[in-house]
Amino acid sequence: MTSSIIGDRALPGLSNGEIARYSRHLLLAEIGVEGQKRLKAAKVLLVGTGGLGAPLALYLAAAGVGTIGMADFDFVEESNLQRQVIHSTKDIGRPKVASAKDRVKGINPTINVVTYNTMLTSKNALELMKGYDVVADGTDNYQTRYLVNDACVLLGIPNVYGSIFQFEGQASVFYAKVGPCYRCLYPEPPPPGLVPSCAEGGVVGVLPGIIGSLQANEVIKLIVGGGDTLAGRLLLFDAWKLTFRTLALEKDANCPICGKNPSIRELVDYEEFCGLKRRDEKSVETITAQALKRRIDAGEPLQIIDIREPHERAIVHFPQAKSIPLGQMVRRIGEFDPAIDAVFVCKIGQRSVFAIRALQEAGYAGRLLNLEDGINGWARAVDRALPVY
Protein backbone atom coordinates (compact mmCIF):
# COMPACT_ATOMS: atom_id res chain seq x y z
CA MET A 1 0.00 0.00 0.00
CA THR A 2 1.29 3.45 -0.86
CA SER A 3 0.74 6.84 0.69
CA SER A 4 -0.32 9.74 -1.49
CA ILE A 5 2.49 11.71 -3.15
CA ILE A 6 0.45 14.83 -2.39
CA GLY A 7 1.38 14.53 1.28
CA ASP A 8 -0.05 17.05 3.73
CA ARG A 9 -0.74 19.73 1.13
CA ALA A 10 -3.85 21.80 1.73
CA LEU A 11 -6.57 20.42 -0.51
CA PRO A 12 -9.09 22.44 -2.57
CA GLY A 13 -12.80 22.00 -2.23
CA LEU A 14 -15.15 20.50 -4.81
CA SER A 15 -17.94 22.49 -6.43
CA ASN A 16 -21.39 21.03 -7.01
CA GLY A 17 -20.52 20.71 -10.68
CA GLU A 18 -17.34 18.80 -9.85
CA ILE A 19 -19.23 16.52 -7.49
CA ALA A 20 -21.59 15.68 -10.34
CA ARG A 21 -18.73 15.22 -12.83
CA TYR A 22 -16.68 12.93 -10.57
CA SER A 23 -19.55 11.16 -8.80
CA ARG A 24 -18.39 7.70 -9.92
CA HIS A 25 -15.05 8.32 -8.25
CA LEU A 26 -16.70 9.65 -5.10
CA LEU A 27 -18.68 6.43 -4.78
CA LEU A 28 -15.45 4.44 -4.51
CA ALA A 29 -14.29 4.14 -0.90
CA GLU A 30 -10.69 3.93 -2.15
CA ILE A 31 -10.99 7.39 -3.76
CA GLY A 32 -13.96 9.25 -2.27
CA VAL A 33 -14.05 12.98 -1.66
CA GLU A 34 -10.56 13.10 -0.17
CA GLY A 35 -9.02 11.28 -3.11
CA GLN A 36 -10.81 13.49 -5.63
CA LYS A 37 -9.52 16.57 -3.84
CA ARG A 38 -6.01 15.16 -4.11
CA LEU A 39 -6.50 14.64 -7.84
CA LYS A 40 -7.64 18.25 -8.16
CA ALA A 41 -4.56 19.45 -6.23
CA ALA A 42 -2.11 17.33 -8.23
CA LYS A 43 0.27 18.46 -10.96
CA VAL A 44 1.29 15.85 -13.55
CA LEU A 45 3.75 16.33 -16.39
CA LEU A 46 3.39 14.21 -19.54
CA VAL A 47 6.57 13.87 -21.58
CA GLY A 48 5.26 13.15 -25.06
CA THR A 49 1.74 13.53 -26.47
CA GLY A 50 1.90 10.65 -28.94
CA GLY A 51 0.76 7.05 -28.62
CA LEU A 52 1.25 6.76 -24.85
CA GLY A 53 0.63 10.41 -24.07
CA ALA A 54 -2.78 10.32 -25.77
CA PRO A 55 -4.57 7.98 -23.31
CA LEU A 56 -2.58 9.47 -20.44
CA ALA A 57 -3.81 12.97 -21.19
CA LEU A 58 -7.39 11.92 -21.94
CA TYR A 59 -7.90 9.78 -18.85
CA LEU A 60 -6.07 12.08 -16.42
CA ALA A 61 -8.08 15.04 -17.68
CA ALA A 62 -11.30 13.06 -17.33
CA ALA A 63 -10.23 11.96 -13.83
CA GLY A 64 -9.88 15.58 -12.73
CA VAL A 65 -6.12 15.99 -12.30
CA GLY A 66 -5.92 19.71 -11.57
CA THR A 67 -2.84 20.62 -13.62
CA ILE A 68 -1.56 18.65 -16.59
CA GLY A 69 1.68 19.70 -18.24
CA MET A 70 2.47 18.41 -21.72
CA ALA A 71 5.95 18.55 -23.26
CA ASP A 72 6.41 17.69 -26.94
CA PHE A 73 8.17 19.42 -29.85
CA ASP A 74 6.63 17.33 -32.64
CA PHE A 75 3.85 18.08 -35.12
CA VAL A 76 0.83 15.92 -35.98
CA GLU A 77 1.38 13.72 -39.04
CA GLU A 78 -1.09 11.50 -40.86
CA SER A 79 0.76 8.35 -39.77
CA ASN A 80 0.18 9.33 -36.12
CA LEU A 81 -3.59 8.96 -36.39
CA GLN A 82 -3.48 5.14 -36.43
CA ARG A 83 -2.78 5.17 -32.67
CA GLN A 84 -2.52 8.73 -31.28
CA VAL A 85 -6.22 9.13 -30.62
CA ILE A 86 -5.92 12.53 -28.98
CA HIS A 87 -5.32 14.08 -32.42
CA SER A 88 -7.67 14.19 -35.41
CA THR A 89 -7.34 14.59 -39.16
CA LYS A 90 -7.92 18.33 -38.98
CA ASP A 91 -4.91 18.62 -36.65
CA ILE A 92 -2.35 17.42 -39.22
CA GLY A 93 0.49 19.93 -39.28
CA ARG A 94 -0.31 21.45 -35.87
CA PRO A 95 2.00 21.19 -32.84
CA LYS A 96 0.99 18.10 -30.90
CA VAL A 97 0.77 20.00 -27.63
CA ALA A 98 -1.71 22.46 -29.17
CA SER A 99 -3.88 19.70 -30.58
CA ALA A 100 -3.73 17.72 -27.32
CA LYS A 101 -4.60 20.79 -25.24
CA ASP A 102 -7.72 21.46 -27.31
CA ARG A 103 -8.91 17.88 -26.89
CA VAL A 104 -8.15 17.78 -23.16
CA LYS A 105 -9.92 21.08 -22.49
CA GLY A 106 -12.86 19.81 -24.49
CA ILE A 107 -13.12 16.84 -22.14
CA ASN A 108 -12.62 18.83 -18.95
CA PRO A 109 -12.55 22.65 -19.16
CA THR A 110 -12.09 22.96 -15.38
CA ILE A 111 -8.46 21.76 -15.36
CA ASN A 112 -5.30 23.76 -16.00
CA VAL A 113 -3.24 22.67 -19.03
CA VAL A 114 0.34 23.88 -19.44
CA THR A 115 2.09 23.18 -22.75
CA TYR A 116 5.79 23.12 -23.56
CA ASN A 117 6.38 23.06 -27.30
CA THR A 118 10.04 22.19 -26.87
CA MET A 119 12.44 19.27 -26.76
CA LEU A 120 13.30 18.06 -23.27
CA THR A 121 17.07 18.39 -22.79
CA SER A 122 19.66 18.27 -20.03
CA LYS A 123 19.59 22.07 -19.97
CA ASN A 124 15.86 22.54 -19.42
CA ALA A 125 14.56 19.31 -17.85
CA LEU A 126 15.03 20.12 -14.17
CA GLU A 127 13.52 23.58 -14.47
CA LEU A 128 10.62 22.32 -16.59
CA MET A 129 9.84 19.36 -14.32
CA LYS A 130 10.26 21.19 -11.03
CA GLY A 131 6.96 21.70 -9.21
CA TYR A 132 5.23 18.65 -10.67
CA ASP A 133 4.19 15.81 -8.38
CA VAL A 134 4.72 13.03 -10.90
CA VAL A 135 6.07 12.62 -14.42
CA ALA A 136 4.60 10.17 -16.93
CA ASP A 137 7.11 9.12 -19.58
CA GLY A 138 5.52 8.58 -22.98
CA THR A 139 8.71 8.91 -25.03
CA ASP A 140 10.03 6.56 -27.71
CA ASN A 141 13.82 6.84 -27.41
CA TYR A 142 16.42 5.79 -24.88
CA GLN A 143 18.18 9.11 -24.46
CA THR A 144 14.99 10.82 -23.26
CA ARG A 145 14.05 7.89 -21.01
CA TYR A 146 17.38 8.13 -19.19
CA LEU A 147 17.00 11.91 -19.02
CA VAL A 148 13.50 11.68 -17.53
CA ASN A 149 14.63 9.03 -15.06
CA ASP A 150 17.65 10.96 -13.85
CA ALA A 151 15.73 14.21 -13.53
CA CYS A 152 13.00 12.48 -11.51
CA VAL A 153 15.57 10.94 -9.17
CA LEU A 154 17.32 14.28 -8.65
CA LEU A 155 13.97 16.01 -8.01
CA GLY A 156 12.66 13.18 -5.80
CA ILE A 157 9.48 12.55 -7.79
CA PRO A 158 8.06 9.34 -9.30
CA ASN A 159 8.45 8.45 -12.97
CA VAL A 160 5.54 6.45 -14.43
CA TYR A 161 7.16 4.58 -17.29
CA GLY A 162 5.72 2.99 -20.41
CA SER A 163 7.20 1.71 -23.65
CA ILE A 164 5.83 -0.05 -26.72
CA PHE A 165 7.11 -1.88 -29.78
CA GLN A 166 5.13 -3.84 -32.37
CA PHE A 167 2.87 -5.99 -30.12
CA GLU A 168 4.74 -5.72 -26.82
CA GLY A 169 4.52 -3.15 -24.06
CA GLN A 170 6.07 -2.46 -20.68
CA ALA A 171 4.98 -0.36 -17.71
CA SER A 172 6.43 0.40 -14.29
CA VAL A 173 6.79 3.09 -11.64
CA PHE A 174 10.37 4.19 -11.05
CA TYR A 175 10.49 6.01 -7.73
CA ALA A 176 13.89 6.05 -6.07
CA LYS A 177 12.44 6.91 -2.67
CA VAL A 178 10.67 3.55 -2.43
CA GLY A 179 12.25 1.28 -5.05
CA PRO A 180 14.41 0.98 -8.15
CA CYS A 181 14.84 3.53 -10.91
CA TYR A 182 15.11 3.00 -14.66
CA ARG A 183 18.89 2.67 -14.45
CA CYS A 184 18.51 -0.17 -11.94
CA LEU A 185 16.63 -2.10 -14.64
CA TYR A 186 18.67 -0.93 -17.63
CA PRO A 187 22.16 0.17 -16.48
CA GLU A 188 23.28 0.68 -20.08
CA PRO A 189 21.36 1.54 -23.24
CA PRO A 190 21.38 -0.91 -26.15
CA PRO A 191 23.81 -0.22 -29.00
CA PRO A 192 22.49 2.45 -31.38
CA GLY A 193 20.28 0.96 -34.07
CA LEU A 194 19.85 -2.42 -32.37
CA VAL A 195 16.24 -1.66 -31.39
CA PRO A 196 14.23 -0.09 -34.24
CA SER A 197 11.82 2.72 -33.50
CA CYS A 198 8.08 2.30 -34.00
CA ALA A 199 8.48 4.34 -37.19
CA GLU A 200 10.70 1.58 -38.56
CA GLY A 201 9.44 -1.54 -36.77
CA GLY A 202 5.74 -0.72 -36.56
CA VAL A 203 3.24 -0.92 -33.71
CA VAL A 204 -0.32 -2.23 -33.48
CA GLY A 205 -2.58 0.76 -32.92
CA VAL A 206 -4.33 -0.36 -29.73
CA LEU A 207 -1.10 -1.19 -27.85
CA PRO A 208 -0.24 2.36 -26.74
CA GLY A 209 -3.86 2.77 -25.68
CA ILE A 210 -3.52 -0.19 -23.32
CA ILE A 211 -0.10 0.73 -21.91
CA GLY A 212 -0.93 4.44 -21.67
CA SER A 213 -4.14 3.62 -19.80
CA LEU A 214 -2.14 1.49 -17.37
CA GLN A 215 0.21 4.43 -16.85
CA ALA A 216 -2.76 6.70 -16.15
CA ASN A 217 -4.01 4.18 -13.59
CA GLU A 218 -0.62 4.25 -11.84
CA VAL A 219 -0.61 8.05 -11.78
CA ILE A 220 -4.06 8.10 -10.18
CA LYS A 221 -3.00 5.56 -7.53
CA LEU A 222 0.12 7.55 -6.68
CA ILE A 223 -1.97 10.70 -6.21
CA VAL A 224 -4.86 9.14 -4.30
CA GLY A 225 -2.72 6.76 -2.25
CA GLY A 226 -3.60 3.38 -0.84
CA GLY A 227 -3.21 1.20 -3.94
CA ASP A 228 -0.39 -1.17 -4.82
CA THR A 229 1.59 0.55 -7.57
CA LEU A 230 4.07 -0.92 -10.03
CA ALA A 231 7.01 0.44 -8.03
CA GLY A 232 9.44 -2.48 -7.80
CA ARG A 233 7.63 -4.37 -10.55
CA LEU A 234 7.80 -4.44 -14.35
CA LEU A 235 4.59 -5.28 -16.21
CA LEU A 236 5.06 -6.99 -19.57
CA PHE A 237 2.16 -7.18 -22.02
CA ASP A 238 1.94 -9.06 -25.32
CA ALA A 239 -1.04 -7.88 -27.36
CA TRP A 240 -0.74 -10.62 -29.98
CA LYS A 241 -0.71 -13.50 -27.49
CA LEU A 242 -2.79 -11.52 -24.99
CA THR A 243 -0.59 -12.27 -22.00
CA PHE A 244 0.44 -10.25 -18.97
CA ARG A 245 3.52 -10.98 -16.88
CA THR A 246 4.92 -9.13 -13.88
CA LEU A 247 8.58 -9.28 -12.93
CA ALA A 248 9.95 -8.24 -9.54
CA LEU A 249 12.60 -5.50 -9.72
CA GLU A 250 15.29 -4.90 -7.13
CA LYS A 251 16.97 -1.63 -6.30
CA ASP A 252 20.62 -1.72 -7.37
CA ALA A 253 22.82 -0.67 -4.47
CA ASN A 254 25.49 0.27 -7.03
CA CYS A 255 23.17 2.31 -9.25
CA PRO A 256 25.09 5.43 -10.30
CA ILE A 257 22.18 7.75 -9.54
CA CYS A 258 19.95 6.15 -6.87
CA GLY A 259 22.41 3.71 -5.23
CA LYS A 260 24.23 4.05 -1.92
CA ASN A 261 27.11 6.04 -3.39
CA PRO A 262 25.74 7.84 -6.46
CA SER A 263 28.24 9.18 -8.97
CA ILE A 264 25.66 11.05 -11.08
CA ARG A 265 24.68 14.27 -9.31
CA GLU A 266 23.60 16.29 -12.32
CA LEU A 267 22.12 15.66 -15.75
CA VAL A 268 24.61 14.45 -18.37
CA ASP A 269 24.83 14.42 -22.17
CA TYR A 270 22.32 11.68 -22.97
CA GLU A 271 23.03 11.66 -26.70
CA GLU A 272 26.62 10.76 -25.87
CA PHE A 273 25.59 8.31 -23.12
CA CYS A 274 23.41 6.41 -25.61
CA GLY A 275 26.22 6.25 -28.17
CA LEU A 276 24.62 8.64 -30.64
CA LYS A 277 27.76 10.77 -30.91
CA ARG A 278 30.20 8.37 -32.53
CA ARG A 279 33.19 10.49 -33.45
CA ASP A 280 35.54 7.58 -34.04
CA GLU A 281 33.61 6.08 -36.94
CA LYS A 282 33.98 6.83 -40.60
CA SER A 283 31.06 8.94 -41.80
CA VAL A 284 28.55 7.37 -44.15
CA GLU A 285 28.30 9.02 -47.57
CA THR A 286 24.77 9.98 -48.61
CA ILE A 287 23.03 10.65 -51.90
CA THR A 288 19.82 12.66 -52.31
CA ALA A 289 16.82 11.29 -54.14
CA GLN A 290 17.25 13.90 -56.86
CA ALA A 291 20.91 13.03 -57.38
CA LEU A 292 20.12 9.33 -57.57
CA LYS A 293 17.37 10.01 -60.11
CA ARG A 294 19.83 11.93 -62.31
CA ARG A 295 22.33 9.08 -62.21
CA ILE A 296 19.64 6.53 -63.06
CA ASP A 297 18.35 8.67 -65.95
CA ALA A 298 21.92 9.04 -67.24
CA GLY A 299 22.24 5.27 -67.37
CA GLU A 300 25.14 5.12 -64.94
CA PRO A 301 25.94 1.65 -63.59
CA LEU A 302 24.62 1.39 -60.02
CA GLN A 303 23.88 -1.30 -57.48
CA ILE A 304 20.65 -0.27 -55.70
CA ILE A 305 20.08 -2.44 -52.64
CA ASP A 306 16.75 -2.50 -50.78
CA ILE A 307 17.46 -3.76 -47.23
CA ARG A 308 13.81 -3.97 -46.13
CA GLU A 309 12.08 -7.23 -45.25
CA PRO A 310 9.55 -8.77 -47.70
CA HIS A 311 6.44 -7.65 -45.77
CA GLU A 312 7.70 -4.05 -45.84
CA ARG A 313 8.63 -4.14 -49.51
CA ALA A 314 5.03 -5.18 -50.20
CA ILE A 315 3.95 -1.69 -49.06
CA VAL A 316 5.94 0.05 -51.79
CA HIS A 317 8.46 -1.27 -54.32
CA PHE A 318 11.62 0.69 -55.09
CA PRO A 319 12.36 0.60 -58.84
CA GLN A 320 15.51 -1.18 -60.04
CA ALA A 321 16.46 -2.29 -56.53
CA LYS A 322 17.85 -5.69 -55.58
CA SER A 323 16.54 -7.11 -52.32
CA ILE A 324 19.11 -8.05 -49.67
CA PRO A 325 17.62 -7.83 -46.13
CA LEU A 326 19.82 -6.25 -43.48
CA GLY A 327 20.42 -9.51 -41.64
CA GLN A 328 21.84 -11.13 -44.79
CA MET A 329 24.13 -8.26 -45.81
CA VAL A 330 27.56 -9.54 -44.77
CA ARG A 331 26.76 -13.14 -45.71
CA ARG A 332 25.97 -11.99 -49.26
CA ILE A 333 28.93 -9.65 -49.64
CA GLY A 334 30.12 -11.68 -52.64
CA GLU A 335 27.11 -10.44 -54.64
CA PHE A 336 28.48 -6.87 -54.66
CA ASP A 337 30.80 -5.46 -57.33
CA PRO A 338 33.36 -3.10 -55.69
CA ALA A 339 33.88 -1.36 -59.05
CA ILE A 340 30.26 -0.07 -59.09
CA ASP A 341 28.74 2.37 -56.59
CA ALA A 342 26.19 0.71 -54.29
CA VAL A 343 23.19 2.71 -53.03
CA PHE A 344 21.29 1.41 -50.00
CA VAL A 345 17.58 1.98 -49.47
CA CYS A 346 15.34 1.58 -46.41
CA LYS A 347 12.24 3.42 -45.22
CA ILE A 348 13.77 6.66 -43.89
CA GLY A 349 17.50 6.25 -44.38
CA GLN A 350 18.42 5.01 -40.89
CA ARG A 351 18.60 1.22 -41.01
CA SER A 352 20.57 1.38 -44.25
CA VAL A 353 23.38 3.09 -42.34
CA PHE A 354 23.88 -0.11 -40.38
CA ALA A 355 24.03 -2.13 -43.60
CA ILE A 356 26.80 0.14 -44.87
CA ARG A 357 28.72 -0.04 -41.59
CA ALA A 358 28.42 -3.83 -41.56
CA LEU A 359 29.96 -4.03 -45.03
CA GLN A 360 32.69 -1.54 -44.10
CA GLU A 361 33.59 -3.59 -41.03
CA ALA A 362 33.64 -6.74 -43.19
CA GLY A 363 36.31 -5.12 -45.37
CA TYR A 364 34.26 -4.22 -48.44
CA ALA A 365 36.33 -1.81 -50.55
CA GLY A 366 33.70 -0.39 -52.93
CA ARG A 367 31.86 2.92 -52.63
CA LEU A 368 28.74 2.73 -50.46
CA LEU A 369 26.01 5.41 -50.55
CA ASN A 370 22.99 5.84 -48.31
CA LEU A 371 19.79 7.17 -49.89
CA GLU A 372 18.96 10.25 -47.84
CA ASP A 373 15.52 9.95 -46.17
CA GLY A 374 15.07 6.51 -47.74
CA ILE A 375 12.20 5.49 -49.96
CA ASN A 376 9.94 8.03 -48.25
CA GLY A 377 12.33 10.76 -49.39
CA TRP A 378 12.23 9.31 -52.93
CA ALA A 379 8.42 9.34 -52.89
CA ARG A 380 8.31 12.97 -51.74
CA ALA A 381 10.99 14.34 -54.07
CA VAL A 382 10.96 12.14 -57.18
CA ASP A 383 7.96 9.86 -57.59
CA ARG A 384 4.91 11.30 -55.88
CA ALA A 385 2.75 8.47 -57.16
CA LEU A 386 4.39 6.26 -54.53
CA PRO A 387 2.90 6.17 -51.01
CA VAL A 388 4.71 7.56 -47.97
CA TYR A 389 4.41 5.25 -44.97
* Residues annotated as part of the active site: 198, 346
- Strands (E) located in the chain: 43-47, 67-71, 112-116, 134-137, 159-165, 168-174, 233-238, 243-248, 285-287, 303-306, 322-323, 342-345, 368-371
Question: Which SS3 state, helix, strand or coil, does residue 159 take?
Answer: strand
> In this structure, how many other beta carbons lie within 10 angstroms of the beta carbon of residue 241?
8
In angstroms, rounded to a whole number, what is the distance separating the alpha carbons of residues 191 and 351? 13
Please name which of 171, 309, 161, 138 lies closest in space to residue 238, comparing C-alpha atoms.
171
In angstroms, rounded to a whole number, what is the distance separating the alpha carbons of residues 29 and 20? 17
Q: How many angstroms separate the Cα of 351 from the Cα of each of 191, 277, 326? A: 13, 17, 8
Query: What residue type is assigned to position 84 of the chain?
Result: Q
CA 368 to chain centre: 31
